[in-house]
Amino acid sequence: MGQKYHLCCIFFWIACLLLCASSDGLMRINLNKKSLDLDTLNAARLVRKQNMYSQYNAIHHNLGDSDIDIISLKNYMDAQYFGIIGIGSPPQNFTVIFDTGSSNLWVPSSKCYFSLSCYFHHKYKAGKSSTYTKDGKSCKITYGSGMISGFFSKDNVLVGELVAKDQIFIETTREVGPTFLLAKFDGIVGLGFQEISVENAPPLWYGFLYVTFRSTMLKQGLIEKEIFSFWLNRNPDDANGGELVFGGVDPNHYKGNHTYVPVTRKGYWQFEMGDFLISGESTGYCSGGCAAIVDSGTSLLAGPTTIIAQVNHAIGAEGIVSTECKEIVKEYGELILELLIAQTRPEKICKQIGLCIFDGAQYVSTDIQSVVEKEKRKASANGDVLCTACEMAVVWIENQLRKNQSKEHILAYVNQLCERLPNPLGESTVGCDQIASMPNIAFTIGSRKFSLTPEQYVLKVEQAGTAVCLSGFMAFDVPSSQGPLWILGDVFMGAYHTIFDFGDDRIGFAESA
């Protein structure tokens, strides 16, 4: 038994060296960035947006020293930020999203046999951990585009140099939905409050304060200050994605003093926000106050449609589906018209143009090369936008030809239809060459104005090798009895260093450095 314990300590020590060592005594994990991709951004955004609906409804229905630990984060497409944790003794490493918009910790289980996504990610093996404790209670978390299910277990969780003993977490045995298949993360560490935790399981940060001994909660005190803080690095040329610090803050990552506001409702990190301004002028909508949530798991800034429409009008944003559709009409409208007049079979036109491949039964994207790529296309709410837009244009033009309309009338009519296309995810494009002339946007928090410049709220992505600029704002409406609500995601947190103070139930914001 002593030899086994000794070996476990050696394994733990080696793992800590790999994960924790740095020249200044603080644990940092340096991880590389990946380029921004529109399809994966859409897939990630869909899950977070849909999940927010179910979680928000659930909660409102039910209701620089040894004590500082730093987790370096990986910036994945300015959409999700990842870090590494270890579960068990010796630690089994997992790449996870640190998500202030949920409260459960989950990773795939070695008993996940029938979900393809589990075979693409690391799996927890209980039999290889000397500190594993069986729980076995089943659970399920439903998302807008999928679900996970599994059972609870207990084990030690290593986060940097901190160890949460007997931490309750979920071993997933089913992960349903293409997003989990394509995810760059193995699991999620929820950093919200226990009030929104499935089966009331305590969140990970709770484990840094207390340890369970014979059903009694004893003070563990792994961190001196009951806070954690986020710095998200939005510099696209910097390989460092940012840092999550438990028990303190890194003064190198913010300027000036933090402005604090109280948490108004536990569950999410929710607070009361004041007026919202465009170019310094009040929109009036939140002058009497709006609820807001700080969510590291949401990529963009989500707010009431009434305001988002004003913002996108002010910055010249246009629905991305409409943009792609009109681009097809502009570039290929006359060619489609000529091919139809020449009696080309409608279902073959988009293949002939080169936007789709016709396999005898259906169109597929030209860049689909594997089963995983096919799933990736399914995960995107728009699918293959260019191919779909071409198909729609063919149908519309053919319909107008039957009515003997002129070329000018047909192309103008199809453009009008493009403008009416809905955007499934609410995303909008802006002209990349217009960013310098766009207005600043400001949130009023704690009587202070927090401004975002166009460079901060516009995301540059790539689609089919072409640069596309997206508005960082998306529409999100909660039921009227609970709204209006803002979700301040990574676009905001990238501009403002954020402290989550669970000791004093407050949130602090300061300009990022």
Task: Determine whether 194 is exposed, middle or buried from the number of CB atoms within 10 Å of its CB (0-12, 13-18, 19+).
Answer: middle
Residues 348-385: b if buried by 16+ CB within 10 A, e if exposed:
ebbbebebbeeeeeebbbeeeeeeeeebbbbbbbbbbb
Cα-based torsion angle of the residue sequence 500, 506, 511, 513 in order, rounded to the nearest 10 degrees: -30
d(CA 326, CA 330): 6
Q: Which residues of the chain have a pLDDT value below 50?
A: 1-35, 43-66, 76-78, 214-217, 358-383
Q: Within 13 Å and on the Cβ side, how many CA atoms surround 196? A: 25
Looking at residue 491, the DSSP 8-state letter turns out to be: H
**Catalytic site residue from 135, 155, 295, 384:** 295
Closest CA to 154 of 105, 197, 118: 105
Residue with tokens 């300027």: 255
pLDDT given at position 80 = 63
d(CA 104, CA 193): 9
pLDDT given at position 71 = 62
299, 79 Cβ separation under 8 angstroms: yes
488, 293 Cβ separation under 8 angstroms: yes
Residue 313: how many other CB atoms lie within 10 Å: 11
d(CA 439, CA 454): 7
pLDDT given at position 512 = 96
Q: In angstroms, what CA-CA distances link 305 with 48, 272, 312?
A: 17, 19, 10
Give 195-240 pLDDT, tens digit per residue. 999 999 999 988 887 655 544 445 566 777 889 999 998 887 777 8
pLDDT given at position 69 = 60
- Catalytic (active site) residue 99: yes
> What would the two tokens of residue 174 be?
């089913």
- Catalytic (active site) residue 384: no
pLDDT given at position 317 = 85
pLDDT given at position 130 = 98
pTM exceeds 0.85, yes or no: no
pLDDT given at position 44 = 45
Backbone dihedral region of 413: left (phi > 0), alpha (psi from -120 to 50 degrees) or beta?
alpha
pLDDT given at position 357 = 65
pLDDT given at position 221 = 67
397, 340 Cβ separation under 8 angstroms: yes
pLDDT given at position 31 = 32
Task: Provide φ and ψ at 434, rounded to 5°.
Answer: -105, 0
**Catalytic site residue from 39, 69, 78, 99:** 99
- Find all residues with CB under 8 Å of 55, minimum gap 6, and list them: 101, 102, 196, 268
Strands 473-475 and 227-232: unpaired
Closest CA to 353 of 397, 318, 316, 406: 397
